Structure 1
Amino acid sequence: MNGNVLISGASIAGPALAYWLGRHGFNPTVVELAPTLRKGGHAVDFRGETHLTVLERMGLLPELRRIQTGGSPMRFVDEAGRTLLHLPAEFAGGEIEVLREDLARVLYERSLPHTEYIFGDSITGLAETASGVRVAFRSGASRDFDLVIGADGLHSNVRRLAFGPEQDYVSHLGYYAAAWQLPGGGYPGPAKGSVGHNAPGRLASAGADHRDPAQAGAFFVFAAPELSYDRHEPEQQKKLIADAFRGLGWEVPRLLASLEQAPDLYFDSISRADVGTWSTGRVCLVGDAACGATIGGMGTGTAMVAAYVLAGELALARGEHRTAFTRYESRLRKYAKGCQAGGGRAGRFLAPATATGLRLRNTLLSRPLFLNGMLKLGERVSSTMALPDYPGDPGRVGDEGRGLQ
């Protein structure tokens, strides 16, 4: 029962869930608004036993280790370029760091044999019936599915349609983040990692491309109350960034000049999603849609764990969604909330609001004992959940594909 599952979102959580559902004998379909797999994006990392166990059970560890970036060291400098703080690669890169687009590609390829992918379309309506969900698509098509899963990020379309408006679930955490590609040549930093300059409540940084050191990207963070702007109007967003960083020294004027010609701009608030119950009827949320944070919430690792648990509980319940959704949330909520808490600290770490806060951050993290303590804390937080075993897991001989029998 309930074998046909529609998943919204083809970034990380969606393809990971599709992989496990296919392994358990379900028929997953993934719909993605973008015309192809999304390119670009920053590196993402995995750390701690829980993350690595999920990767191992998927058989991904050898491939991810082959394509890993090796980590991204971070250097903070004053206006003259003198180093104030240096953070090693493992601080941001965990035990395995890969580019988001590489991870998305690997998950897509692993899930593809058992998954239908629909690119260039999105869900516009959900109507639950006695036996399933009638789904309307932007293309004009409509189809019936047994279950619908929102794996479409912090600004989830499925959550909006099934649970209510975004403002009911997403909280602004006091900062905004922007990223764009820099033109080749003249990158003001090392061949690996990033270099940044702070003023109170602001960070301007640039980082080398992991594949081509001649290419680089800018990453800016600034403190601000919730702003009103059109998410689909990059010129509005560029003006907000330029206004926030006007008057800063170091390389900031040159980086802002490059923003004018940037073909692709990422701009978003640093926010957190809090959903009281992750399912309603035959619709369920996974990853950032349920319990995400824009930066610093270990969202990628949590999404992989959540996909594994949701698919496993559906298999264990033989597709009975009420039981499966309840068990999934019961197992995962405390773990996901613990990981998500880092998102509330991300803006304050990257761009402390005061000069005193900046000096304190630089002083404390320059001490090896304090730095090592922070690294160990991150590993502990990401490893607080013992993964359950499910039908179809490696080592359970003869169980593969038995989820719906």
Structure 2
Amino acid sequence: MTKSVLISGASIAGPALAYWLNRYGFDVTVVERAPELRRGGQAVDFKGRTHFAVLERMGILDEVRRRRTGTTDTVYVDQNGKQLALISGEFTGGDLEIQRGDLSEILYERTAADCEYVFGDSISGLVDTEHGVEVAFEHGPARTFDLVIGADGIHSRVRKLAFGPERDFVKHLGHYYCVAGASPWSGDGSRERQVAYGHNVPGRLAVTGGSKAQQLYMFASPELDYRRDDTRAQRDILRNAYADVQWQVPRMLDEMESFDDFYLDSLSQVRLNGKYSKGRVALVGDSAYGNTLGGFGTGLAIVGGYVLAGELAVAQGNHVEAYAQYDEIMKRYAKIAGNSNAGRFLAPRTATGIKLRNWFVGSRMFQLMIKYADKAANDIDLRDYPVKVSA
């Protein structure tokens, strides 16, 4: 008997999981709060044989390569534009980089015909019963599914409803970040090297690729109280945080006001201690093992979706057996997301910290750190799941 599965979230982890579940014969519905597929966003990347193996098995590796972005080096400069340090694009962009919106589109195109997508709605309630999960929606009628999977990010609604309040599982890492504006280096398969410029003052970083280009901000701050759908309040938060920073920042802030693409959030880490399932509900991607800008989020989402769907297929829909295997496999692999704090590295709180960071990125230790990260990205024995299973 075919199992019905509801996935919350249509960014990366959700459609990736939907692809595999549909391939294995499950009846898949994806619900997404946004009114349509989300375009734009910052670049995401893959590194190493494990990530590439999953992309190849999905049949999308060539398309991802075709739409890859160019490698972008970041030059850190002082107030007058003098170079202080350089972080290579190989560190920030992995082996293969693509715009988040482009990757989301690729995954959606390969699932839209066979999976049900419901845009402009979200889950408002879950009742996990012996025979299924009764799901209430903000707008649509209630429905019952055999399984529910949360692929809805760091601030997961599914995790909150099934596991408990966000404060119990998400740790604020002491910084906020903002991405504003569309990248000037969208994915066209180019491998040309590009240059972005960054400037630090204690506790703050501003990066720009030049006039009218995508901007990145990162600043130290305790947890802030604001509505996540109030972009006017968020733009004001950003302006206040950088009010006394010079360099190119005044120009950047003025340009930022005209950008439609604007996203501000905290650097946070999800801590579930390797337990990514509860009853008939499971989590995948950032909702399960997210660490903002930690460098492994997209790879973890792709691998996690592959493993979760594969284990459900092998277990012929027996979620108790499949979830236990999924938890065990991903608990070990997801440790790579728990060892980094991008805020401390990119926006040190002191002038001494900035100088030490600038020295470190030019040292042999930095190269060893990159090699360790590359090794960690491949620290999993991917099971070769069946090509197709009737659930």
TM-score computed with the length of structure 1 as normaliser: 0.90
Match of 2:321 among 320, 323, 341: 323
* Partner Cα distance (2:27, 2:94) in 1: 34
Where in structure 2 are the equivalents of 1:261-272 lying within 5 Å? Answer: 261-272=258-269
| Partner residue in 1 for 2:200 | 198
**Pair 125,182 (structure 1): closer, same or farther in 2 beyond 3 Å:** closer
* Partner Cα distance (2:141, 2:168) in 1: 29
Please tell me whether the aligned partners of residues 291 and 337 of structure 2 are also in contact (alpha carbons under 8 angstroms): no
**1:294 and 2:292 aligned:** yes
Match of 2:345 among 335, 345, 349: 349
Structure 1 SS opposite 2:113: helix
| Deviation of 1:376 (Å) | 1.2
| Deviation of 1:375 (Å) | 2.2
Cα offsets for 1:181-214 (capped at 9, x unmatched): 2899xxxxx9924211001111011136xxxxx7
Where in structure 2 are the equivalents of 1:125-274 lying within 5 Å? Answer: 125-181=125-181, 192-207=194-209, 215-274=212-271
2:234 partner letter: Q
* Partner Cα distance (1:230, 1:51) in 2: 35
Instruction: Judge which range, 313-322 or 191-200, deviates more.
Output: 191-200
Please tell me whether the aligned partners of residues 24 and 313 of structure 2 are also in contact (alpha carbons under 8 angstroms): yes
| Deviation of 1:225 (Å) | 1.3
| TM-align CA RMSD | 1.9
Structure 2 SS opposite 1:73: strand
| Partner residue in 1 for 2:188 | none
Unaligned runs of 5+ in 1: 185-189, 209-213, 393-399
* Partner Cα distance (1:229, 1:183) in 2: 26
* Partner Cα distance (1:170, 1:297) in 2: 18
| Deviation of 1:314 (Å) | 0.2
* Partner Cα distance (1:285, 1:223) in 2: 29
* Partner Cα distance (2:228, 2:117) in 1: 26
Where in structure 2 are the equivalents of 1:25-174 lying within 5 Å? Answer: 25-174=25-174
Unaligned runs of 5+ in 2: 185-191
Structure 2 SS opposite 1:366: coil
* Partner Cα distance (1:80, 1:403) in 2: 64
| Deviation of 1:282 (Å) | 0.7
* Partner Cα distance (1:171, 1:260) in 2: 30
| Partner residue in 1 for 2:361 | 365
1:361 partner letter: R
Runs of 4+ in structure 1 deviating by more than 6 angstroms, as ranges, are: none
Please tell me whether the aligned partners of residues 5 and 146 of structure 2 are also in contact (alpha carbons under 8 angstroms): yes
TM-score computed with the length of structure 2 as normaliser: 0.93
Instruction: Judge which range, 53-62 or 234-243, deviates more.
Output: 234-243
| Deviation of 1:370 (Å) | 3.4
* Partner Cα distance (2:109, 2:44) in 1: 18
Please tell me whether the aligned partners of residues 40 and 102 of structure 2 are also in contact (alpha carbons under 8 angstroms): no
* Partner Cα distance (2:243, 2:183) in 1: 21
